[in-house]
Amino acid sequence: MRAKCSGNLRCAKCVRDNAVCMYGDRKREKNKKDLAQSRERIGSLERNLHDLRGLLQKVASSNALHAELRSEVEAVLSEVSDCLVSL
Q: What is the pLDDT of residues 40-64, one digit of tens each?
A: 999 998 888 888 888 888 877 877 7
Percentage of the chain surpassing pLDDT 70?
77
pLDDT value for 1:
41
Instruction: Give the other-Cβ count within 10 Å of 80's Cβ.
Output: 16
pLDDT value for 41:
92
pLDDT value for 40:
93
Three-state SS annotation for the chain: CCCCCCCCCCCHHHHHHCCCCCCCCCHHHHHHHHHHHHHHHHHHHHHHHHHHHHHHHHHHCCCCCCHHHHHHHHHHHHHHHHHHHHC
- For the whole model, what pTM was predicted? 0.52
